[in-house]
Amino acid sequence: MIKCTLKFSMAMLLKTTSSGLLTTIAISKPLNKCFFTRAASLATLRLARSFHCSLPRKTTKKMVTLIVATTTDPASINPANALLAMPGWDPTPSCLQDMKGFGNGAGGVRVLLHNKGIVEEDDLDRRWEEATGERVDELVFLSKHTAVSNRPALTVHPIGVPHLRPGDAAPQGGRPGWAAPPSPRIGPWLRHLKKLAQAHNLVPEFEITLEGTHHGPITNTPTMFLEIGSTDEYWKRQDAAQVIALLVWEGLGLGGGAAVGNWNGEKDKNRVLLGIGGGHYAPRHMDIVLKDGVWVGHLLSGYSLPMEDPNQSKAETNTKEIGGTWREAIKAGFEATQSAFPGGEILAHLDHKSFKSWQKNAITGFLGEQNIKIGKPNDFY
């Protein structure tokens, strides 16, 4: 209960501070002091959160970055906690049910913690904007990585399941035929991650690598996943968590330095690699992306390019005769990459050795039909 010697028509008005925290200010002159019990303070905080999340939104929307982690995964929550231990973070209303929020006012960055699987919370970009009026311009998800090899790894990758047909199950989230815009930071952050991992003596124990485009959750904002693999022992490694946290901290310029990987579409450095073919860890695309200044979009591994053999592998093949969803996957990957790199020139880079001749002929023919240029390694440097 509130113990107070004064009656207000409305005692307090909520105010948002520059750091994003809520406070209260009096809007009528008190006749005496008003004392609040602990219960009343908690009730006021709940009211504040509710009020903040339902305020009318300004026409000009603030742009923010969302860092998303789940408490159910040590490879997700440990880097998030390491990041939140760095300066400048304050608890804020998450405005989304059953999620905790933290804000770093200087950088326009928000951390969201939830208790579901990392691929289960769809449309966080849209939901956050609807709840707060802040427009999300990029999403970074923290997650564990699994691999048959069990090899320790730190990985970076775009997301989507563009090869699935409508109605297909998507066991790892996403929507069949969909590919999220890839974060332009993927290439620059991969290179920075390698430097940080080397500086913290994680290399050569940990492999630093890209992964092909795969899984959800659904977003329509430039997105990347940062993952620690590949077994429970490594998911819990605090040194790996610290390196991922430093990558986010330095990559977004939260420590005062320049952010890493801001896309500006400069004409002399605007070529973007669209990876086509190869294994899940994209080794031939990696060889190019590790070079300074290279930008990378979607990476469509062989399993994301289902092609049905027309039994004409020794003859010229009409691309229309080859079944499978490979065309749809390439088109979705190209369009999503194009949307993430405005003003960029998207060049397809093929892992030629991963294709049979009829597959390569079909893909190059389709790329020509779609006016998608093919790049050689030197075209990206």
Cα gap 49→379, rounded to integer Å: 51
- The confidence score (pLDDT) of residue 61 equals 75
pLDDT of residue 265: 81
What pLDDT is stored for residue 309 in this prediction? 83
Look at phi and psi of residue 371 and say left if phi exceeds 0, alpha if psi is from -120 to 50, else beta.
left
Biggest CA-to-CA distance, the chain: 94
**Per-residue pLDDT, 317:** 52
Residue 60 is predicted with a pLDDT of 64
Domain ranges within the chain, ordered by starting residue: 63-311+320-370
Report, as ranges of residue numbers, the positions in the chain whose pLDDT lies below 50.
Answer: 1-52, 54-57, 313-315
Assign domain 63-311+320-370 to its CATH architecture.
3-Layer(aba) Sandwich (3.40)
pLDDT at 13: 33
pLDDT of residue 2: 33
Q: What is the model's pLDDT at position 93?
A: 82
pTM: 0.84
